[in-house]
C-alpha cells in the first residue's frame, strides 16, 4: 500500500504571502469563529512554524512582516555561506583532532583546487614529540604523503569533513619575531594504554 505524504494545512479561503528570498510562506485567514489568524511554514516544512490568531489586523500584519524579515535574513545568510569562497590554497595544511579517552591528531595537505567549491587533500605524516607519560605534541611534515588524494568540499570558513566523526580545520602558522612564518603550531595528542 503506497504511503501518503502529509500535507500542509492550507486554510480555505486564505491569502498567501510568499517570501521573496526563500520558500517560506504564510497563509492569512479567518477562523470559523471569525478571528483573524495566520499559519506560517519555514522553507519546505509540512509542520507549521507558527499558527496564531490575532485580536487586530495590525497586530497580525506586524507579526507576519517581522517573521518574513527573519526568514529572508536566514535565506540571505545561507546563500552567503554557500557562495563564500573557502579560503584554502594549494599547500595549506589542515589538522584534525579526534578521539575518545585519547586525542589523535591527523594532518592533511591541500594538493589541488578542484573547481570553485572543492579541494583535493592528502594525508601527510607528522613528527611526534613526547612530553610526558603518553602525551605530547605533533607537527606536520609537509609534502610527506601517506595516502591517496580525495576531493572534499570545505565550508566557507575552511572546515573539511573527514568522516562522520572528524572535521579538519586550517592549521595555525607560527611566526618569528620579524613576523615571517616559521612552521605550524604543534598539536597536542594523548595516548591510551
Residues 108 and 63 in one domain: no
Cβ(81)–Cβ(155) below 8 Å: yes
Residue 16 makes CB contacts below 8 A (sequence gap 6+) with 25, 26, 27
Can you tell me which residue has the cell 579526534? 98
The answer to whether the beta carbons of residues 55 and 33 sit under 8 Å apart is: no
Is residue 7 situated within a structural domain? Answer: no
Co-location of 174 and 116 in the same domain: yes
Q: Is residue 161 part of a domain?
A: yes
Q: What's the pLDDT at 126?
A: 94
Residue in the structure block whose three cell numbers are 490568531: 53
Q: What is the enclosing helix (H) or strand (E) of 72?
A: helix 57-83
Q: How many CA atoms does the CB half-sphere of 76 hold within 13 Å?
A: 8
What is the C-alpha to C-alpha distance for residues 151 and 118, in angstroms, rounded to an integer?
7
10 assigned to some structural domain: no
Same domain, 32 and 74: yes
* 2 inside domain: no
Residue 6 lies in a domain: no
Diameter over CA atoms, the chain: 76
Pairwise CA distance, residues 84 & 76, whole Å: 12
- 132 is in which domain, residue-wise? 93-190
- Please state, in angstroms and rounded to a whole number, the distance separating the CA atoms of residues 120 and 159: 13
Question: Half-sphere exposure of 139 toward its Cβ, with a 13 Å CA cutoff?
Answer: 11
Q: Of the candidates 65, 83, 101, which is a domain's last residue?
A: 83
Q: Is residue 5 part of a domain?
A: no
Same domain, 46 and 119: no
Name the domain boundary from 83, 108, 124: 83
What global pTM score does this model have? 0.60
Look at residue 94 in the predicted model and tell me its pLDDT. 94
| The pLDDT value given to residue 117 | 85
- Per-residue exposure over 135-169, b if at least 16 CB sit within 10 Å of its own CB, e if not: ebbbbbbeeeeeeebeebebeeebbbebeeeeebe
Q: What integer pLDDT is reported at residue 69 of this predicted model?
A: 94
Residues 74 and 114 occupy one common structural domain: no
Residues 61 and 128 in one domain: no
- When divided into structural domains, the chain yields a total of 2
Q: Rounded CA gap, 145 and 54, in Å?
A: 64
| Domain end (from 55, 83, 111) | 83
Mean pLDDT (10-residue bins), the chain, 193 residues = 76 92 94 94 93 95 96 87 78 91 92 88 94 90 93 86 89 81 87 74
| Distance in angstroms (rounded) separating the CA atoms of residues 101 and 192 | 7
Amino acid at each position: 500500500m503506497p504511503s501518503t505524504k502529509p500535507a500542509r494545512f492550507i486554510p480555505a479561503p486564505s491569502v498567501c504571502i510568499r517570501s521573496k528570498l526563500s520558500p517560506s510562506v504564510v497563509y492569512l485567514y479567518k477562523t470559523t469563529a471569525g478571528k483573524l489568524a495566520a499559519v506560517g511554514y519555514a522553507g519546505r516544512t509540512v509542520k507549521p512554524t507558527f499558527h496564531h490568531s490575532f485580536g487586530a489586523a495590525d497586530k497580525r500584519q506586524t507579526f507576519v512582516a517581522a517573521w518574513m524579515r527573519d526568514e529572508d535574513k536566514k535565506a540571505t545568510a545561507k546563500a552567503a555561506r554557500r557562495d563564500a569562497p573557502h579560503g584554502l590554497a594549494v599547500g595549506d595544511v589542515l589538522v584534525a583532532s579526534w578521539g575518545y579517552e585519547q586525542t589523535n591528531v591527523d594532518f592533511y595537505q591541500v594538493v589541488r583546487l578542484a573547481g570553485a567549491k572543492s579541494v583535493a587533500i592528502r594525508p601527510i605524516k607528522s613528527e611526534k614529540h613526547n612530553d610526558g607519560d603518553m602525551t605530547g605534541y605533533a607537527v606536520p611534515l609537509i609534502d610527506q604523503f601517506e595516502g591517496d588524494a580525495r576531493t572534499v568540499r570545505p565550508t566557507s570558513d575552511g572546515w573539511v569533513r573527514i568522516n562522520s566523526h572528524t572535521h579538519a580545520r586550517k592549521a595555525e602558522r607560527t611566526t618569528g619575531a620579524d613576523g615571517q612564518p616559521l612552521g605550524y603550531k604543534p598539536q597536542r595528542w594523548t595516548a591510551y594504554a
